[in-house]
Amino acid sequence: NVSQSCWIIDDERMGEASVEEIIKESVCAISRGDGYKFHAAGREDIDVRMLGSGRPFLIEVLNVRSIPSAIEIQQISDKINSSEKKHVRIRNLKLVDNEIWAMMREGEAEKQAEAVCCPHMDF
């Protein structure tokens, strides 16, 4: 019940949360930016469970006032991963440069969709 990005239809929120919102909250609090852009490799539908090791993403923070230290990056990961709701888990969070952005764009052309449909199952 979690979408990749905030999903609103006819002024009604769909789902409990989004990956974008959960990650953005922690990242923006430490970096003290004016805004952000969430870039994900591929997309997840709200009714499809993520399989495998996850999906890469970038958070581009606009007008950053504080570059997070390695300790702060770990604190962001720990905060998200220890949330009671367990909607999102992250690993290998780090500061990246423009090369990573180019690699993600290349990956979009090669993406493949894979889903397992399990009607009436509780996850």
Is 45 noted as a catalytic residue in this protein?
yes
Given the residues 10, 11, 34, 45, select the one marked as catalytic: 45
Domains identified in the chain, total number: 1
Higher pLDDT, 110 or 55: 55
Distance CA(43)–CA(115), nearest Å, equals 12
Structure tokens at 20: 């974008």
Distance CA(46)–CA(4), nearest Å, equals 7
Q: What's the domain range around 40?
A: 2-109
> Closest Cα partner for 89 from 22, 42, 29, 5?
22
| Residue 85 within a domain | yes
Q: Please give the DSSP secondary-structure letter assigned to residue 58.
A: E
CA distances to 46, 89, 97, 118 from 94, rounded to whole Å, are 26, 14, 10, 34
| Residue 122 within a domain | no
| Residue 118 within a domain | no
Q: What is the pLDDT of residues 49-100, one digit of tens each?
A: 667 777 778 888 888 888 889 999 999 899 989 988 878 888 888 888 878 7
Domain CATH number, residue 81: 3.30.70.2510
| Residue 120 within a domain | no
What pLDDT shows up at residue 115? 47
| Residue 31 within a domain | yes
